[in-house]
Amino acid sequence: MPWEHKTILLGVLTVYITSLVLGVEERPRDAECADLNNTTWHGYRGQRVKLQVQYLLLTRRNVDCAQMFNQESLTKEPSYFNSSHPTKVIVHGYRALGSKPSWVKELAQALLRVQDVNVLVVDWVYGASFAYNLVVENYKEVAVQISVLINQLQKHGCKLESFHFIGVSLGAHVAGFVGTLFEGKIGRITGLDPAGPMFKGADTFDRLDPSDALFVDAIHTDSDYFGISIPVGHVDFFLNGGKDQTGCARSRFPSILVYFPVYGYVICDHMRALHVYMSALDGSCPLKGIPCFNYDDFLKGHCVDCDVFKGTCPTIGLSENSGIAISPIPKEQKLFLLTTSSPPFCTHHILLELKVSPLDKSAEVEVTLRTGNLGTEQRLRLQTSTTVYRTVLTHPVALCEIESIEMKNTGALFYRQGEIHFQSVCLSEFPALRREEPLCVNNINVRRGALWSHDFVQVCGIF
């Protein structure tokens, strides 16, 4: 389904949802706490509204109560802004329903739990909630307004390298143009599934690219529809290939009853980048990317190390390895990793290597890794022309906690191989967290329709 069709469906759903919520009284908010704007969606009228940009400030001193922030705030008391601290700038993207982004406070608080920083939220909801093509025409003006504020902050002691922009969808390109205006001297830009429509073929001047900051990283989760499919940073994480995310609906539109599943599908894939990023901030579960030419090569086990980064795999988030310490930083490096469908999203990458004696006929084998009641299955088609197979599996626990491996010869038809002789079956975890030897079993014969199993007697770190 082309993204244009999804946009139409999203618009129809928008009208329906808006009709449900109109007239619902908004919950009163604390008069002392600032909040983002809320507006009525007006994309079908195609009307422009005056671009309004405001800023909200959150710090560890006011983590639950945002303060409205502007140039005057720097000289007013009380102001929670500390020019000696780094500053995170959050930029939201297109607001199809005209509603304020509900995730902003959660992201700001997650950032503040990790670092003592200023968090500035750029609120441009009023300019982001009409027809998408008109919103795209506005994004550079938003960036210009942000640059005015950054210039003022520099006069009060802030350094350009202390700014880290986090842009979601279209907000990533807003951040990129701010970086362009400052000739790439901004410290860092993180793009969370940067918008694709109207940007995939754009010049680097008009979209996020590595020259926009000293370090640019991006997470891609919906690159076949609303996200961009090309690398836009020094490092680009393509989660599960950057397209369909685990646990997201796969509904299309056979009837009017699927409007909600389609809407959920659109938001789920596109917003997964944001949720993975927030989850990764605490660093409890490292999400490491593996450099590879494409996703297919990654799944075939052709890429298992980070030699291009001198052995240190880039990690999503703000940990020490989230940036790259080497210089010069490689540009537009595609990084791949697999995730689960829910927080903390991390899983263990297990490389399965099979060496098979030459076959007379094709065969099919099902490999299962087991740890307690946890099981991971992978089905492989074996050909007469190939004797070595490599494939990547995911498992909930580390290699050293795998208790057994099962091999089942699933070929039941008369023309399939009767017996398969495996010269070796080896498992290894990557990227290597420890100097672990692969788990290997040699000389296995599995008859057609039979199940073979082998138990590993091991403890993590002891073999």
Catalytic residues, by residue number, are 169, 193, 270
Q: Are 94 and 128 in contact (CB under 8 A)?
A: yes
> Residue 410 CB: number of other CB atoms within 10 A?
15
CA angle 115, 118, 124 (to 5 degrees): 125
Name the burial class of residue 259, with classes exposed (0-12), middle (13-18) and buried (19+) by CB atoms within 10 angstroms of its CB: middle
- Nearest CA among 206, 200, 179 for reference residue 190: 179
DSSP string of 301-321? T-----GGGTT---BSSSSTT
Q: Are 193 and 270 in contact (CB under 8 A)?
A: yes
Beta strands in 81-175 (DSSP E): 87-91, 118-123, 163-168
Report the alpha-carbon distance of residue 78 to residue 411 in Å, rounded. 74
Terminal C-alpha separation, the chain:
50
Strand partners, 154: none
Q: Are 129 and 95 in contact (CB under 8 A)?
A: yes
Tell me the two tokens of residue 375: 């099981």
- Nearest CA among 203, 238, 202 for reference residue 223: 238
Please state the three-class secondary structure of 104-120 as a single string.
HHHHHHHHHHHCCCEEE
CA 284 to chain centre: 17
